[in-house]
A and B are shown apart, each in its own frame.
Chain A
């Protein structure tokens, strides 16, 4: 990566924010009347975008369908003792990788807490992690042993590489040539890799000589190979390592960030005000909505609308005239992930009695794939564990699977909870799934573009879709685009 390109990309991502520049919040007398913007949705993207618009002196109203703001950033207390809590949506921040987010953390005086091994993060490597492969548990030491690697089916080249690299750096072994070609990571095309749009990442790894074991570990089936390579190029560009960085969460839960935005926006955020229609014309946009408990639709007129609602929910709102066919394709075809977290409350750190330094395990069971510990969230001797399992499965079933697999003597878990996002009418989805092979041309760059006076922000609307950071980056980008329009 050339340093110049790197700086350009960083500037494009971060220069947009106007944190704390209150001076701009008033319009000088005699100047053009302030622009008026309706932000659709008070998830973290909508709140951040509204905040950035407000900082630019723009008259903004946020219309949120649900009775709470924050969307998929949700810190839940119900069912837990001692004031403990758990994030059921956005789980963690990374460093590096959350530069824009950390600027808000600093500006709002929030605190971050280290959250090691979050969501299966390999960091810190502390030799407490256990990985199940073929029904057997492996420690980090075992996985680093060439004899184990050979027995698992890695080839000579991979074993040589793994002698000085952790497993998670394997993509670098296979994709180094492709990454070297990416001179401009601001978009996927034109970097000499365009032909990769046709195949999936798994096929590319196979083509580059990866063993079946490496391919199983790396995944990549159904993932557009050009998208996969480009994603790594952007990460390189932004200084994010293949480990994805150290993991953290906000003290008090990640919902502290939506709360901080909402506190500054005040009455500009209207809860339980679902949008029922969006009508555009040459001079502006008319947004229809209903207020809580009332049937008669009301309207508000604005210069621009920013859609910060996830696309499967947004497409329930009629837009007239209809979106362009290119935009409609994006709205109808972007696939999202939607997975729940399972939260266990334990009375003690029971794994210490079994000789494990930490509880950070991955499994092959259909009902549970991962478990890890949440750092202390309240003054309590109890601990919160989080597990990954499929949506629609009951927490008790996930707990039963854990108990079947846990290699220690016993656990002290007394509570198992979840939040079923697939039943949430307004925020059912999490992040976008990688694009499928052969579809990148239809998505990029259309996914970032406004459609007339209707702008789009969200975790998908950034060159690197990656948790809350892409939410706030896209939000600040759109705010700046509207200020410049």
Chain B
């Protein structure tokens, strides 16, 4: 009995000690981003759908308890002709425009490659491709709102976005919205598609990179730690 009590208090002591140690550790200023599924180097047939799941913790908050909202998670999938090439493992830095898109309310009405409440960013990019004045028009429509350009729905104004931010978003939609090799998905879990821009070779696949798009604390960066890049190899053709 005596022994048991002792052992118990040791445990208490050790755990409070380690808690103190954890608290004493310097706060990491990089978000911990982990793609928990799919597994790295897993295989999926081209044109099929896979499911993904991402966990993020940052600044003492976690997606697990919805302290970081699911909408702060962005997954990008890029086609690579050779999944063994070292470059395939490198996540491109997150463009600020994309962080702004996911942090504002855009994704409540838009999707990157499919219609929802508004046209897809891909469709917008396609419609205005090659029109030099388009970026300025779209930036103005993002800030001031828009109606009548696509259908009967209307887009609210976004006075909270600075002109430069709206301009960068418009440019991003025009230049990347239609990239056939890249797809974006918002949310901590969901589906992704094994898409190919052309006929894939035997070593081709998708690189999945996950990002935290939420607010940063002072001194924080978007350089993620953890398994934020995985490669999925395509099978079939």
- A interface residues, Cβ below 8 angstroms from B: 219, 221-223, 276-277, 312, 315-322, 331-339, 366, 390-393, 420-423, 425, 428-429, 433-434, 436
Contact = CB atoms under 8 A, between A and B. Distances in A.
26 contacts: A222-B151, A222-B152, A223-B152, A276-B51, A312-B114, A312-B116, A316-B190, A318-B191, A322-B47, A322-B49, A332-B114, A332-B115, A335-B118, A335-B151, A337-B117, A390-B154, A390-B155, A390-B156, A422-B105, A423-B105, A425-B70, A425-B71, A425-B187, A428-B116, A429-B117, A433-B153
Contact of A433 (B51, B105, B152, B158): B152
B154 A321 contact: no
Interface string B98-119: 0000000100110101111111
Contact of A315 (B71, B151, B191): B191
Q: Which 7 A-B pairs rank lowest in CB-CB distance, beginning with the nearest?
A: A422-B108, A392-B156, A318-B191, A312-B116, A338-B117, A318-B49, A332-B114
B50 A318 contact: yes
Given A332-B115, A338-B109, A423-B108, A433 B151 contact: yes
A322 B115 contact: no
B48 interface: yes
B49 A391 contact: no
Nearest to B192: A318
A264 B115 CA distance: 35
Q: Quick one: which of A223, A331, A392, A425 has the most chain B CB within 10 A?
A: A392
Nearest to A276: B51
A316 B191 contact: yes
Contact of A428 (B50, B117, B189): B117
A337 B152 contact: yes
Contact of B152 (A277, A366, A393, A434): A434
A320 B47 CA distance: 10
B145 interface: yes
Interface in B155-192: 155-158, 185, 187, 189-192
Given A221-B148, A320-B48, A337 B116 contact: no
Contacts, number: 103
Interface in B28-76: 47-51, 70-71
Given A320-B49, A336-B116, A436 B189 contact: no
B145 to A, nearest CB: 7
A433 B109 CA distance: 13
Given A221-B148, A335-B116, 8 more contacts: A223-B151, A315-B191, A322-B193, A333-B115, A391-B108, A422-B117, A428-B116, A429-B116
A318 B116 contact: no
- The size bracket of the interface on B is 35 or more
Nearest to A425: B70
B3 interface: no
B115 A422 contact: no
Contact of A391 (B109, B113, B152): B109
Contacts of A277: 51
Nearest to A424: B108
B117 A336 contact: yes
Interface of B: 47-51, 70-71, 105, 108-109, 111, 113-119, 145, 148, 150-158, 185, 187, 189-193
A316 B156 contact: no
Contacts of A219: 152
Nearest to B114: A332
B156 A393 contact: yes
A181 B185 CA distance: 45
B42 to A, nearest CB: 13
Given A222-B151, A391-B156, A335 B119 contact: yes
Nearest to B107: A422
A221 B147 CA distance: 11
Nearest to B104: A392
Contacts of B117: 312, 335-338, 391, 422, 428-429
Nearest to B193: A322
A428 B187 CA distance: 14
Contacts of B118: 335
A321 B151 CA distance: 33
A336 B105 CA distance: 17
Q: Quick one: which of B51, B119, B148 has the most chain A CB within 10 A?
A: B51
A439 to B, nearest CB: 11
A275 to B, nearest CB: 11
A339 B152 CA distance: 11
A434 B151 contact: yes
Contacts of B114: 312, 315, 331-333
A276 B70 CA distance: 15
Q: Quick one: which of B111, B117, B148 has the most chain A CB within 10 A?
A: B117
B105 A436 contact: no
B155 A334 contact: no
Nearest to B108: A422
Q: Quick one: which of A276, A316, A337, A423 has the most chain B CB within 10 A?
A: A316
Contacts of B152: 219, 222-223, 337, 433-434
Given A276-B51, A318-B49, A321-B48, A337 B153 contact: yes
A436 B185 CA distance: 25
A450 to B, nearest CB: 18
B151 A436 contact: yes
A99 B102 CA distance: 42
Contacts of B191: 315-319
Contacts of A423: 105, 108
A71 B89 CA distance: 41
A390 B111 CA distance: 19
A423 to B, nearest CB: 6
Contacts of B156: 390-393
Contacts of B192: 318
Nearest to B123: A333
A422 B108 CA distance: 4
Nearest to B144: A366
Contact of B115 (A221, A335, A428): A335
